[in-house]
Structure 1
Amino acid sequence: MKREHILKMVMLAMLVAIGVVISPILRVEGMCPMAHLINIVCSVFLGPWYSLLCATLIGIIRMTLMGIPPLALTGAVFGAFLSGVFYRLSGGKILCAVLGEVFGTGVIGALASYPVMTYIVGREGLTWAFYIPSFIGGTLIGGFIAFVFLMALRRNGLLAKFQHDLGAKVYDTTAAKRAAQSTK
């Protein structure tokens, strides 16, 4: 196996573990901002497909072990994937990764949660927009934390180094050259 592939699997496993452990600890009722932080960081480090896989694994583990409702999946997978897609389409703008998470989870995930919770789980008294305020609130909190964290990594040149070591696309060309030289 290539070194990059092993590093990607290790990073994915660490993000899943952190997401499972930290989500129930640092949460506000109806919001899970740390899940959004993990989604955005995974999107920037590994890309949209790994971020989708990470969110899916975290959701399945939380639903299985912690009895969390299906919101753990519907409230995470759309934002995780769109965060990575927006990041790539923007040419590596961290703010776009955050906006992808806010739109994907805050709007699409919230709207997808309504039929799941109403018709599958049997929860009554919900409207189609019931989850939008709390999902957007959670994504804004987690997105802000992710933005500050990733910008600090970018300023120090560590973001490009991590992306280079993981075999991900590095958008900061100056930092990419430094990262490539430091691994030689």
Structure 2
Amino acid sequence: MHRTRRITIMAVLIAIGVLGSQFLWFPAGIAKAYPVQHAVNILAAVTLGPIPAVTIAFMIGLIRNLFGLGSLLAFPGGMIGALLAGYLYQKYGKIGWAAFGEMVGTGIFASLVAVPFAKVFMGTSFGALFFFPSFLTSSISGALIGVFIVSRMKSANLLKQIEVSRLK
């Protein structure tokens, strides 16, 4: 994929992630669920791969935090799921594996990483399973949205065009 095209796709996904989080969220336990982040992770994992997906998740978290629209938990919550989604999609080439990676990466691994992360960076101490319900709810709903969008892109041959240019 040409560098300009890759950067443009990344910028669009970052914009969708930042803006979408303001329009689509719901309460999930003690926290808010932002499924758009996880849907973007699926799109990025499938179209660009694991490293760009992590970069996009990092930039969404950074912009949201700079503008006071999110918490520091956006970093582990978005980046770990993006990495695992991208890795599993790259390894198996199936959308379902990307969704599984997002759900396990964010819902399980990131919720566990969030405990020491919150203690060090936010000065709070919570139990090991404190973030689990909200992270899992957010990642499952977002992964399902992402799978739906990628499936629609695939049926419209949009995904093939992006993946073919990715291989060049």
TM-score, length-scaled by structure 1: 0.84
Question: How many residues are aligned here?
Answer: 164
Deviating beyond 6 angstroms after TM superposition, the runs of 4 or more aligned structure 1 residues are: none
How do residues 58-97 of structure 1 correspond to structure 2 at under 5 angstroms? 58-66=60-68, 68-90=70-92, 92-97=93-98
Give identity over the alignment, percent. 30
Contact 1:75-1:109 at 8 Å conserved across structures: yes
User: For 1:51, what is the secondary structure of its paired residue?
Assistant: helix
Q: Distance in 1 between matches of 2:69 and 2:21?
A: 13
Q: Note the alpha carbon deviations across 1:11-38, whole angstroms, 9 max, x for none.
A: 0011111111111221113211010000
Q: Distance in 2 between matches of 1:82 and 1:156?
A: 26
Structure 2 equivalent of residue 105 of structure 1: 106
Is 1:32 the counterpart of 2:34? The answer is yes
Structure 1 equivalent of residue 123 of structure 2: 122
* Unpaired stretches in structure 1, ≥5 consecutive residues: 170-184
State which drifts further: 149-158 or 131-140: 149-158
* Unpaired stretches in structure 2, ≥5 consecutive residues: none
Which of 5, 18, 23 matches 1:7? 5
Give 1:68's aligned amino acid.
G
Q: Distance in 1 between matches of 2:50 and 2:63?
A: 20
Structure 2 equivalent of residue 23 of structure 1: 21
Post-superposition shift, 1:163?
A: 1.7
Post-superposition shift, 1:67?
A: 5.1
Q: Distance in 1 between matches of 2:47 and 2:69?
A: 29
User: For 1:69, what is the secondary structure of its paired residue?
Assistant: coil
Q: Distance in 1 between matches of 2:127 and 2:90?
A: 34
CA RMSD of aligned residues (A): 1.5
Q: Distance in 1 between matches of 2:148 and 2:154?
A: 10
User: For 1:41, what is the secondary structure of its paired residue?
Assistant: helix
Q: 1:168 to 1:24 in 2, by over 3 A?
A: farther
Q: Distance in 1 between matches of 2:156 and 2:70?
A: 37
Give 1:70's aligned amino acid.
L
